[in-house]
Amino acid sequence: MMVLYSLMIIGGYVSAAGLGLTCPEWPLCPDGIMPSEEYLIEWIHRLVAATTGSLVIATMVASLINKNSDLKIKVTSSLATVFVITQIVLGAMVIDLKLHAVLVAVHLGIGILLFAMVLLTTLFAFRVSKTSMASKA
């Protein structure tokens, strides 16, 4: 949850500061895995995005594997995974199409939906946890 929120803050900064095309290639910057200083902010955004995507997908896999997982958690984590994959594709398209305004807006909108699904997954998980703890007491 915090990683996703950090990603949204960094993404907002990248957009507001006009740094969206400082790293004009996708997925890596021209210098490869470790970028030079001029690509650092955009590279950090991409690194945090990759970390977020991995965590969201891992959450979905864990919820689907766990037979005791609540259906709400399975649905919201699966939707979050769909939105993460959509964000990856949109992020690549935003760079490829040189920050086309409609794509940037859709990227933001899907990001908000992703945040909502991760928030719901977290809330449902805590609710289930509190319920199971109360029944054991």
Span 52-81, pLDDT tens digits: 999 999 999 999 999 989 999 999 999 999
Are 70 and 22 in contact, with CB atoms under 8 Å apart? Answer: no
Query: What residues are labeled active site?
Result: 42
- Exposure string (b/e) for 57-66, b if CB count within 10 Å is 16 or more? eebbeebeee
Residue 13 DSSP SS3: helix
Residue 25 has pLDDT above 90, yes or no: no
Tell me: the pLDDT tens digits for 105-122? 999 999 999 999 999 999
Q: 82: which DSSP letter?
A: H
pLDDT band at 84 (very low <50, low <70, confident <90, very high): very high
What predicted TM-score, i.e. pTM, was given to this entire model? 0.88
- Name the percent of the chain lying above pLDDT 70: 94
Provide the pLDDT for residue 132.
Answer: 66
Give the list of residues 6+ apart from residue 89 with CB closer than 8 angstroms, or none: none
Q: Which residues contact 77 (CB under 8 A, 6 or more apart)?
A: 56, 59, 60, 63, 64, 117, 121
pLDDT tens readout for residues 91-100: 999 989 988 9
* Residue at 6: amino acid letter: S
- The values of phi and psi at residue 29, to 5°, are -80, 165
Largest CA distance in the chain: 58
Check pLDDT > 70 for residue 136: no
